[in-house]
Amino acid sequence: MAFWRRKTRIEKERRVRANARDYNEKFQYADNSIKTSKYNLLTFLPVNLFEQFQRVANAYFLVLLILQLIPAISSLSWFTTIVPLVLVLTITAVKDATDDYFRHRSDQQVNNRQSQVLSTGRLQNEKWMNIQVGDIIKLENNQFVAADLLLLCSSEPYGLCYIETAELDGETNLKVRQALSVTSDMRDISELMDFDGEVICEPPNNKLDKFTGTLLWKNNKYPLDSEKMLLRGCVLRNTEWCFGLVIFAGLQTKLMQNCGKTTFKRTSIDKLMNTLVLWIFAFLICMGVILAVGNTIWESLIGTDFQVFLPWDEIQSNAVFSGFLNFWSYVIILNTVVPISLYVSVEVLRLGHSYFINWDQKMYYRKADTAAEARTTTLNEELGQVEFIFSDKTGTLTQNVMVFRKCSINGQTYGDIYNEFNQKVEITEKTARVDFSFNPLSDRRFKFYDSTLLESIKLEDPLVHEFFRLLALCHTVMSEEKSEGNLVYQAQSPDEGALVTAARNFGFVFRARTPESITLCEMGRAVTYTLLAILDFNNVRKRMSVIVRTPKGQIKLYCKGADTVIFEHLDLSNEDLMHTTSEHLNEFAGEGLRTLALAYKDLDEDYFDIWMKKLLFASTVIENRDEQLAVLYEEIEQDLKLLGATAIEDKLQEGVPETIARLSLADIKIWVLTGDKLETAMNIGYSCNMLRDDMNEVFVISGNTQLEVQQELRSAIDHILSLSRVCDTEDIAKTDASVDVFEETIIAEYALVINGHSLAYALEPQLEHVLLELACLCKTVICCRVTPLQKAQVVELVKRHKGAVTLAIGDGANDVSMIKTAHIGVGISGQEGMQAVLASDYSFAQFRYLQRLLLVHGRWSYFRMCNFLCYFFYKNFAFTLVHFWYGFFCGFSAQTVYDQWFITLFNIVYTSLPVLAMGLFDQDVDDQYSLRYPPLYKLGQHNLLFNKRQFFLCTLQGLGISFLLFFIPYGASSVMVKEDGSLLTDQQTFAVIIATSLVIVVSVQIGLDKYYWTAVNHLFIWGSLIVYFALLFAMQSDGMFGIFTSSFPFVGTARNCLSETSVWLVIVLTSVVCVMPGLAVSFLRVNLFPTLIDKVRHLQQSRKKEGPQEQNLKRVRRTSSRRSAYAFSHQQGYGELITSGKNMRVGSVSSAHSPGRTPRGSTWMANVLKGKNEVSCVSDGNLGAAESSEGTKRETQTEKQQPTG
């Protein structure tokens, strides 16, 4: 594999010869196997250990272990370090191995798929992994394409085939590919076996929409482009079979070239911990140096007097060397400031948090029987710190399902239902549907609720009939009748399919088409229209027209398109109807529906003949053909008569607008990165409430050169900054916010939309900073027509320059690269396969679950982890630094103040379970209030709960507690006596008093720090105290001393000292003095300087009896903008191909001439277009999401009062 990678770097061009494995093998091209896993059996141990020892703490404990193996300086047993270290490394390794096992299993499932390969004169089944460059393989309908293929021939006329590219670009619309004419006639196995053409093409690259090559065959050269290629990840649709020549295989395919590398992800807390461990180690060294210097001085001045009964060891030659040895001894003793149990506990907490996500019933999607899944356990707290979300569109935000909802015909709207009081009634699942049983050809899945429209049809209202006749005629849909009455429409876009399906249900059924005719079934009668011309759609015209001859001989033009364009071409007599229809369009757009206007025109025979001659001439010219055709189209599409308008709902996934609204309130910036075209992405932006009509401006960057893109970016920035300078100072004075007022105002009112080809220039080093500056000044950013690699580059740009936590969410293979690049990758198990899920860190079935993942589980995980770390460092500094104070009273001899068993058990028995319970179950507010008050999430974004300042405060508290723990018992020991008058001044009694006080103090402190008590918390806290005293008396009993004399030297100490009243008085005094300062500070802070958490907790407690109240996020009607339903027409229409008849079988063409017969196997439209026209920015409405007035006011007040960090 390594050798192959070296070869690809220098590959200048690729030469592939068909049916010649020996020839192709000499180039050592990659085979067709893929590998997304990180390890194998040989590399797992070294690579995993290398990754784990990147964690500074692991390296730190390894050094301590080595020191403890040296007898001269070791004051603690080596097993106290090696056992927990091996445990941590093993647990992490098992977890990583499990994750990688699933990747291996996924790779094997893909590599073991079967495909038919042409070999030794026949087709043989081969695993995908065994396919090689130069093989000819056969694909059948609905099969995935195994590798990047050059299409040779297919079952369709002219070598056409149809593919779905959802895995590549997220688009579910079918696309057409066409083989070279010289190979399209090869249909026999023998002909394909004899094919020995050689392809010379570009080397492997990640450009999905480009391919350059040449086919050399029979002494001729034939140019190749992307329209001749079938890329891995596509699905063959509506094509019985096709043959292709493998050009790129395996990891060299364009799909895999766009997949990012699997990286080792670490949280920001992990990175901070690495820094803090270095700080702690430096602090430990300083303490060791102080105590070592103290030992040297003590040995020089005082120690010599004790050498008679405390002689130096043989290796101790002088006081300086004694200090040197004691330095290392103290390093070992004081290492418990960062115990290895901390990392064991962190892994346990992360595992527990992951299970909470997996078990969350509110993230379970019943329809698909899919639960949320935490596919990694290392990133949970990072979910509480996300600042940027990068989302795919198709399948992530939308269902990519279009539904005909409403229409306006001759000034009358249809689609709403009213009660007897003429009040509009909300449509629900229980609302009665219109009965289409009169129509045997109706689509039973079609839902419509306004029966007045069907009544108008049955009353034979001529304009209503003409309306649906237009919908049945003016399109490029193809019909396939699999059985009598079972029609299947294959549409260029979901919009067209929805409109033709609506006409079908209302009695105007599109049955079949040929290059010269369209056959309808109108109210049960077969009617054939002669198709005279198709005036195709493109992004400049924004409309489509057909010209037909009716059975009565009339010539009619039917036109549909964007309302602004249609209105410009209406006859003056339609002015009143235009105003009425315009009001209806505003109403439809206000509900987030996508609109089209419909018009028609009767044509004079003589005029049409003249115009047709001009059209035929313009179609044959070589220069300026498109411009001349556009002029002719414009000429005939004048003086139209308005029929009405349609309103289609582009169905979002449930809860998408509300989710985006909540995430926005949490100050999370959402960027949409989609393969769809500009207008599609903008329409979804409006539907999701990411784009709104009240925004100051939506900047559209669509330059075709670097200079144009730079000018557009600079112009947008200058425009924003110029307006910010004249911002109303009164508004500023009224605003009480913790962030810059100008930036808040800017972010609230601007949006950026950028095309893929412009983004390519903007991502170059000289422009990326300009792009990022503009993007961060805008509230919404939408990148459209982007490649998978560009998605990853955008994510990397933000990661690199903003230093913010990023999350990428998608559902297709085209999203894998950005999912791997982001700090957190989320896969949606949708309709586009499982590639995104397999590459993700978390997965679930619906976008709406993202708000719960972040605002509830993410915030809780961050909150719990931060509190856990603060408490852990506090208790361990309090526990460990007692040794430091004791050093000044024991001749700096590195003697431990505690019993060695207490040192061993303190972190793994006495205090482990309470802190684990806090880290697993604690919550400041419940899940309902977490969702109700999204600003709570900002604490994690600004990293306020655990940072270097918080760490310093925790260690300072621990330092103070250690001081009190040592000096209060020390001071009391001089006056403390037993009941019989004897002194209690021995070291063992002193150790028991300090240890007991310490355990009580840290137990009480964790109880005070808890926000949420459960039975588990009570059990662990009070149970740990009981276990402490039980083990204390057991290990200091006569029996244990009798069995293990050298291991249990504290014989009878607990029994003797804890039976004395004075000892308990000292313990109580020490505990109270240690706890009260922190308690007082907490009381004053909550009452005098409450945070947003404190206020929401108070609100939650005061309303506990009333029950949780969900935040009311409701849609806000838009009143000004409307959107063309042509948003899914990504390129010019298919009219030319339809009228040429190339995409139709001979049988279907002939049969369609007879109204009474249905076509046997007609296939849908195809497109062989090269150009990519961009649409202009269309003003659009918003789909608002706002809180109820009470909730908004309350949240605003609490947010304003929240102190800044």
Nearest CA to 943 among 804, 822, 821?
804
Answer yes or no: are the C-beta atoms of 794 and 835 closer than 8 Å. no
DSSP string computed for 279-313 = HHHHHHHHHHHHHHHHHHHHHHHTGGGGTTTSPPP
Residue 731 tokens read as 């508004």
Rounded Cα–Cα distance for residues 328 and 85 (Å): 20
Burial class (CB in 10 A: 0-12, 13-18, 19+), 526: middle
549 beta partners? 530, 555
Nearest CA to 374 among 349, 339, 409?
349
Nearest CA to 632 among 642, 619, 622?
619
912 beta partners? none
Rounded Cα–Cα distance for residues 625 and 619 (Å): 7
Q: Indicate the SS3 state at residue 33.
A: coil
Catalytic annotation present for 31: no
Burial class (CB in 10 A: 0-12, 13-18, 19+), 707: exposed
223 beta partners? 214
Tell me whether strands 824-828 and 842-844 are parallel, antiparallel or unpaired: parallel
Residue 1096 tokens read as 């929401």
Number of continuous H segments (helices) and E segments (strands) in the chain: 44, 36
Alpha-carbon torsion 396, 399, 400, 403, what sign?
negative
Rounded Cα–Cα distance for residues 654 and 657 (Å): 8
Answer yes or no: are the C-beta atoms of 771 and 763 closer than 8 Å. yes
| HEC sequence for 867-922 | HHHHHHHHHHHHHHHHHHHHHCCCCCCCCCCCCHHHHHHHHHHHCHHHHHHHHHHC
| HEC sequence for 481-528 | EEECCEEEEECCCHHHHHHHHHHHHCCEEEEEECCCEEEEEECCEEEE
Nearest CA to 832 among 806, 804, 813?
813
Nearest CA to 1093 among 979, 1003, 1199, 981?
1199
Rounded Cα–Cα distance for residues 933 and 1093 (Å): 10
User: Residue 676 to residues 145, 680, 921: CA-CA distances in angstroms?
Assistant: 22, 6, 43
Sequence-ordered list of residues with C-beta below 8 angstroms from that of 820, at least 6 positions apart, any chain: 259, 260, 261, 262, 263, 792, 839
DSSP string computed for 795-862 = HHHHHHHH--EEEEEESSGGGHHHHHHSSEEEEE-SSS-SHHHHH-SEEES-TTHHHHIIIIIIHHHH
Find the DSSP H helices in 30-115.
44-52, 56-68, 79-111
Answer yes or no: are the C-beta atoms of 927 and 916 closer than 8 Å. no
Count of other CB atoms within 10 angstroms of residue 496: 28
Catalytic residue among 392, 563, 676, 899: 392
Q: Which residues are catalytic?
A: 392
